[in-house]
Amino acid sequence: MIGKNPFRSESHVTRSAAHLRLADASSDEPAADAGQLLVRVGRGDEQAFAAVYDLLGASVYGLARRVVRDPARAEEIAQEVFIQVWQSAARFDPARGSAKGWVMTLAHRRAVDAVRHDQAATNRENSYDWSNGPDYDEVEETVSMTLEHEQVRRCLEGLTELQREAVNLAYYNGHTYAEVAEVLDANPATIKTRIRDGLVRLRDCIGVPA
Amino acid sequence: MTTDLHSLLAPYVLDALEPAERAQFEAHLVQCPDCRSELGGLQATATRLGESQSQEPPAALRQRLLAAIGSIPQERPLVTSINQRRGLRQRLPQLVAAAALVLAAAGGGGYLVERDHAQDRERQLADITSVLGAADAATTAQDFPNGGTVRLVTSKKRDAAVVVAHSLPALDGGKVYQVWLIRSSKAESQGTFSRSGEMVMKDLSSADELAVTVEPSGGSDQPTTAPVLNVPV
């Protein structure tokens, strides 16, 4: 990927603080779940918007940061995501999925679009060297010690190496499966299958209802 | 073919498809109940992968967003929101009305993802959003003598501006309003609209002014009439 790896110098304290804040936000308003808040946001309720931000801001920013690496770019993406949440909240339908899922889907897509856009710009200037690729193993070493993260990490560790790398490269690094195939020197059809097997295994391990 | 498309479900959930494949898969999704029933669980799994990266954002982001949303129009604004947003409506009524239409038309993703073929529109929406949401977004308004308003939201940081024209006087004979950016005495067309419309203009810092002229149907290569409006940028 382009640029430096900002995770290298990151402290665990920062991440723990993020989770403390999340916990605070949800305990302050036990009755207001993200879905109800989003419905209020759709009616122009700015306080509800602030509450949604307090609930999901760290998740959105953290994901953007993981995908695009650069803190300033991640902040920009998080800003765009929450503006989109504000603009489109009226379109959110609680019957169709969780509010968190909706927001995180928007966030991931935006982060991935940004990384591909930046990459395309870089590629126009000089041909891309895949060996400069993301050191995702290193990133994984510095992740926080929250319970939730531990579970996800444990489940990722339960995948085969190819499944894990394929899922990591696609989700956290914003590669298409075709690019993943190139990075891992594998057949694209194989990668599609590995991503699928990996994701299904993760789902069952994390305990998300199918 | 169906089997083939079905195998795109997991990469789709991870946003790991090329745009063309994504469009193809989304079309498939509409008519594939099996895919849809599996989609939710896989999306929830992806959400957990995302959440696990949670990290405290800079405090300034929260302040900036809370300060910005008051002037950012929402899709399908509901009547009940008017009281809460009275201040906004007094400040930017036309912008709200016009831009809300744009945004409603453009859509913007959804959980089951309604990204259609309007990719250009979406890009334009993203540009509009980026300008309206910029920390330094500034609005100027120009009233037309015979009714209607042209508003200009400018962001130096984004080096861009959004023009929102609302209810300008109707033109006869299929004539249109055409928006120009003047750079070093040269006029560059930014697009046309009939009575209301909006457009994004980029590379603003090298431009001197914005002009609006009345042109024959379809617009002109260069202005053929004196501007009905000039705004320095």
pLDDT digits (tens, 9 = 90+) for A167-187: 999 999 999 999 999 999 999
CA separation for the pair B73, B88 (Å, rounded): 9
Provide the token pair at A25: 């936000």
Closest-CA distance, B186 to chain A, in angstroms, reads 28
Q: Which helix (H) or strand (E) holds B43?
A: helix B33-51
* Tens of pLDDT, residues A72-85: 999 999 999 999 99
Q: Is A23 on the interface with B (CB under 8 A)?
A: no
DSSP structure class, residue B53: T
Look at A44 and B112 and tell me if their CB atoms are within 8 Å. no
Pick the more confident residue, B197 or A145.
Answer: B197
A151 and A132, same structural domain? no
Look at B16 and A66 and tell me if their CB atoms are within 8 Å. no
pTM to 2 decimal places: 0.59
Superfamily of chain region B2-51: Anti-sigma factor, zinc-finger domain (1.10.10.1320)
A132 and A158, same structural domain? no
A118 and A26, same structural domain? yes
Residue A185 lies in a domain: yes
Cα–Cα nearest to B18, from A104, A46, A182, A194:
A182
Provide the token pair at A207: 């305990």
Res B39: pLDDT: 92
Task: Name the domain boundary from A80, A115, A136.
Answer: A136
Look at A65 and B53 and tell me if their CB atoms are within 8 Å. yes
**In percent, how much of chain A has pLDDT > 90?**
59
Count the neighbouring beta carbons within 10 Å of the beta carbon of residue A43. Answer: 19
Cα–Cα nearest to B9, from B1, A118, B26:
B26
Range of the domain at A164: 146-210
Q: Is B24 on the interface with A (CB under 8 A)?
A: no
Report, as an integer, the average pLDDT of A8-22.
Answer: 38
ipTM above 0.85, yes or no: no
Res A143: pLDDT: 44
Res A139: pLDDT: 46
CA separation for the pair A66, A174 (Å, rounded): 10
Q: Are B58 and B32 in contact (CB under 8 A)?
A: no
Taking only the tens of pLDDT, chain B with its 233 residues reads 445 788 999 999 999 999 889 988 988 888 888 888 899 999 999 999 999 999 999 999 999 999 999 888 887 533 322 333 333 334 344 444 444 434 433 333 223 333 333 355 566 667 777 777 777 777 777 777 677 777 777 888 888 888 877 777 888 878 888 888 888 888 888 888 777 767 778 888 888 888 888 888 878 888 888 888 777 77
Distances (CA, A) of B131 to B140, B152, B161, B190: 14, 11, 6, 16
A100 and A6, same structural domain? yes
Task: Name the domain boundary from A81, A104, A136.
Answer: A136
A206 and A168, same structural domain? yes
A131 and A54, same structural domain? yes
Identify all chain A residues contacting B133, using CB atoms and an 8 Å cutoff.
79-80, 83
Q: Is B49 on the interface with A (CB under 8 A)?
A: yes
- Local structure of A159: helix, strand or coil: coil
Identify all chain B residues contacting A84, using CB atoms and an 8 Å cutoff.
108-109, 129
Give CA torsion, residues A50, B126, B138, B140, to 10 deg. -130
- Residue A64: CATH number of its domain: 1.10.1740.10
Pick the more confident residue, A86 or B162.
Answer: A86
Residue A203 lies in a domain: yes
Q: Which residues contact B11 (CB under 8 A, 6 or more apart)?
A: A170, A176, A177, A192, A195, A196, B17
CA separation for the pair B198, B185 (Å, rounded): 24
Domain count, chain A: 2
- Residue of chain A nearest B88, judged by CA positions: A44
Res B76: pLDDT: 55
Res A13: pLDDT: 38
Look at A45 and B130 and tell me if their CB atoms are within 8 Å. no
Cα–Cα nearest to A45, from B160, B209, B16, B78:
B78
- Residue A208: CATH number of its domain: 1.10.10.10
**Hey, what CATH topology would domain B138-232 get?**
Immunoglobulin-like (2.60.40)
Which of A66, A87, A167 faces B75 most closely, judged by CB atoms?
A87
A7 and A108, same structural domain? yes
Res A137: pLDDT: 43
Domain-by-domain residue ranges, chain B?
A: 2-51, 59-132, 138-232
Res A31: pLDDT: 44
Residue A141 lies in a domain: no
Which of B65, B81, B108 faces A79 most closely, judged by CB atoms?
B65
Res B122: pLDDT: 60
Res A201: pLDDT: 97
Q: Which helix (H) or strand (E) holds A73?
A: helix A71-88
Provide the token pair at A59: 């998740």
Given a cut of 70, whether residue A166 has pLDDT beyond it is: yes
A94 and A155, same structural domain? no
Q: Are A41 and A48 in contact (CB under 8 A)?
A: yes
Report, as an integer, the average pLDDT of A7-13.
Answer: 37
Provide the token pair at A180: 């993943």
A204 and A125, same structural domain? no
Look at B16 and A171 and tell me if their CB atoms are within 8 Å. yes
**In percent, how much of chain A has pLDDT > 70?**
73
* Tens of pLDDT, residues A126-143: 544 444 444 444 444 444
Closest-CA distance, A127 to chain B, in angstroms, reads 20
Res B190: pLDDT: 83
